[in-house]
Structure 1
Amino acid sequence: MTVPSATLPSRTDTQSPLATLKFRLIDLMRGTRTLELLAQLRQRQYDSPEKLATQGKADLARYFDELRANIPMFRDIPAFTDLPLTDKAFINAHREELRNPSYKGKVIRKKTSGSTGSPLVYYTSTETQSYLWAGLLLSWEVAGYKLGEPVAFLSGSALAGDGFKQRVYYKLLNVQVLSAFNLSAQTMSGYAAAIEQQGFRLLYGYASAIHRFACHLNASNTRPKHRLRGIICTAETLTPAMRKDIEQAFGVPCYSQYGCNDAGVSAFECEHREGFHLLSTRCHAEIVDGNRLISTDLTNRAMYLPRHDTGDLVRMADKPCRCGRGLPLIAEVIGRQNDVVVDQRGHAVHSEFFSHLFREDARIQRFQVVFDERTLNVNLHGDQLSDAELAALAAPYRERIAQAMSFEEVQFVCNQPFITLANSKHRFIMRRPAA
């Protein structure tokens, strides 16, 4: 199947006044300024690399001055590059010390497990949330989205959220969530029907979940009669083979998006799809030994997270993109991907299921799920537990897992060594290595 060529970003003068009103209402409810920032980013993305770099240097200097003035542990650090690298363990250990006592605005609590399965609790400001959504909308516009058009989210709680306010926001955003927790053949056939009937113009969600959906459509020779203009995959690596399968299933361009919200990283593919344009207006990015991406969210004044290690490996492009954007270009995100868990029936459950399952249990600091066709092993790390305590802790989780998937054997262990990959990076969901 020939996929239509990617198009240039949609003109904003075609968006409806009602859509603009709804988005302004969201900004008013959240205390954000998403639409204002989106208008700025539409223009600033085409500034020259030199102009963006000059502004970025000034923003970083201002951030560093405020950091030293407000956070005692950094007061005597002479230069920004002398700051220590921060990671989840450092932030969790110094969470209150990193909060800005001078910040008087609204504080938003965030909790994420990320790619390592180690929970991180941090705080952001309304400015950070404004940049998060403005960057997201900017990336959607590349795929042909116009403000207010219907969007389908194939995702879990990390993207979609599950609170009352979130549901109100999504109603105003014209977003419908399709759960990635259950990807049975029956469920995916229902999703295909919804895409046909509800006129979505954009499909957005986890790369592995959208790929699983596409493979289901291709295998069943199902071609939904949809109105999609584009598809955007996020949260995981989108391989060329995955992109090909997705475009075969839907017949529209498929884009990839990359982000790490705690580090202020937001990057998107343009119409040429030759790398990720990094919103350097929000963050200061550094590439250190071994291609490690270190980033500082310059917009978060509620809590300072300087020089945050994203845990990701990236390769920067050595020349600008043909599209004319001056933003730095990430040529490749080298190390990033979660597995979909597939049980003995072939029923797939997205890895986010386990993050959602364990993230609010204070006793569980880290975890790893290892599976094959027959067995699923859950390794919980936390305070030392007796066998009886572990059995009591595991019981409700075992029941939840049994409701979602079928394995001959589900085992729980506590504080056992994690299985690591060849590069020593911990993956919290993985297929059992072949013997």
Structure 2
Amino acid sequence: MGGVGSVVQSVVGRVRFGLIDLIRRTSTVSILHELEAIQFESPPQLQERQQALLQGYVDLVRKASPLYARLTGFAQFPVIDKAFANANRAGLVNPGYRGKVVSKKTGGSTGEPFVYATGVKAQSYLWAAILLSWRVAGYRLGEPVAFIAGTALFGTGYKQRIYYALMNVHMYSAFDMSAARLEAYAADIARQRCRLVYGYASAIHQLALHINKSGRRPQFRLRGVVCTAEVLTPAMRETIEQAFGVPCFSQYGCNDAGVSAYECERRSGFHLITQRSYFEVLPGGRLVSTDMANDAFFLPRYDTGDLVEMAAAPCPCGRGFPLIKNVVGRANDLVEDSAGNTVHSEFFTHLFREDRRISEFQVVYDARELVIIVHCADAAFAHPPYLERIAAALAFDTIRFAVNQPFVAIKNGKHRFVMRVDNVEQALGETLAC
């Protein structure tokens, strides 16, 4: 009976996603099958595929864009960023593109929201890569999925609601994470017999903390959890796996740059899909990428603003895609004091990672004050050695902890480890008033 049920599930899943591709005019399912097949090719084979795709992309850009017409090859293309794209938008639009254009907007967590466009092929690769990361976690096409996120991950229009209904997705907002709402989320995920939880790492972590604290785990039927959009720390992963009783995976992406990367079963890095992205790592670890699938709006050699560390060798799992060993964070995830001293958010991650009392943290600062909001089991938490270590690296009039206060949120519902604000006390006060 189980075998028959699996066959029926497979057929229904293909029908559901076939309808989505038909409505969107995408080819997500066929690209997913292609990626599943080629991911185990050798690195040289995948590099050969990538070079052929890059050459076709370069030829198209040079032909279609006056900004690149006089450049003889990809090596002459400059590294560009959001400012360049905003200033040269007309020259980046492909006048020969005749397909459906999808307008996109970055969430603005870097402080500089960015509006760009993608075509059908890029949209197909985007969703195929997401599904590939789900497949590693045990997901089968058409199975019910719980989305826990904000508007940066799922849209709110009627078309999105149709797509998510066909995908069998159940949406849970990351904007309301009260105890009562978390209790309802957990119960509904169990009731809907969801096989996968997908969404913001911080939101899923909050739900996991609630489940662990309550001591009541619903009868989940999950195969796995996939976190995206934010850094998943080892402590967060451990908490999530304890709450849901299944493996927790992380996914990394930067859609405007065409970057899609996923963890395999070993969970020791991110496999970067080179069928869509031609990536470069500049000195210092800055990731630059070209979305070779975006033939509607060109962003060649686009600076993602992310800092990464690449693995020296392919993953032992056998997949040939290059492996991102570590996503350090965004280049602007820096704390800078008035004297010009700077530290990256990783400074704090390393500082706190061995302290099992701390489940999450956020650094909020202005010109004079730095506050570390810590969520931890010890309500009287005050660790002077931490403050001394921070004070040795950064000069602020005041450095202190705020224990178990709500985090300062950004509009798209994501959690940022580091936030510069105009006034710390005002930002904390507004958060407490919400």
**Hey, what does 2:155 align to over in structure 1?**
161
Q: Indicate if the aligned counterparts of 1:263 and 1:297 stay in contact, CA closer than 8 A.
A: yes
Equivalence for 2:218: 224
Tell me, yes or no, if structure 1 residue 147 matches structure 2 residue 141. Answer: yes
Cα distance in 1 for residues equivalent to 2:19 and 2:88: 36
Task: Output the amino acid matched with 2:107.
Answer: S
Out of 375, 378, 386, the residue aligned to residue 426 of structure 2 is 375
* Whole-angstrom distance in 2 between the partners of 1:83 and 1:25: 39
Structure 2 CA distance for aligned equivalents of residues 349 and 186 of structure 1? 20
Question: What is the 5 A alignment of 1:10-409?
Answer: 15-336=9-330, 346-347=405-406, 350-353=409-412, 369=421, 375-376=426-427, 406-407=432-433
Higher RCO (CA 8 Å, separation ≥ 6 residues): 1
Distance 2:10 2:73 in 1: 48
* Normalised TM-score (structure 2): 0.78
Structure 1 residues 26 and 277 mapped into 2: Cα distance closer, same or farther (>3 Å)?
Answer: same
Moved more, 92-101 or 76-85: 76-85
Are the counterparts in 2 of residues 375 and 407 from structure 1 also a CA contact under 8 Å?
A: no
* CA apart distance, 1:66: 1.2
Displacement, 1:347? 4.9
Conserved 8 A contact 1:69-1:75: yes
**1:287 shift after superposition:** 0.4
Deviant stretches of 4+, over 6 Å: 337-345
Inter-partner Cα distance in structure 2 for 1:60 and 1:36: 21
Give the conservation status (yes or no) of the 8 Å contact 1:182–1:348.
Answer: no
- Structure 1 unaligned residues grouped into runs of 5+: 1-11, 356-366, 378-400, 409-435
> CA, structure 1 residues 354+306, in 2 after alignment: closer, same or farther (shift >3 Å)?
same
Inter-CA distance 14–323: structure 2 relative to 1 (3 Å threshold):
farther
Identical amino acids, percent of aligned pairs: 52
Q: How many residues align?
A: 361
Say which SS state the counterpart of residue 253 (structure 2) adopts.
strand
Q: CA deviation at 1:375?
A: 3.0
Tell me if the contact between 2:107 and 2:412 (Cα under 8 Å) persists in the aligned partners: no
Computed over aligned residues only, the root mean square deviation of the Cα atoms, in angstroms, reads 2.5
* 1:168-210 deviation line (CA, Å, top 9, x unaligned): 0000000011000111111111111112211000000001111
Change in CA separation of 1:85 and 1:137 when aligned onto 2, cut-off 3 Å? same
CA deviation after TM superposition for structure 1 residue 97, in Å = 1.5
CA gap 1:344/1:48 in 2 versus in 1, 3 angstroms: closer
Q: Give the TM-score, by structure 1 length.
A: 0.78
**What SS class does the counterpart of residue 33 from structure 2 fall into?**
helix
For the residue of structure 1 that corresponds to 2:170, the secondary structure is strand
- 1:72 deviates by 0.6
Superposed CA offset, 1:201-230 (max 9, x none): 000000111111111222222322100110
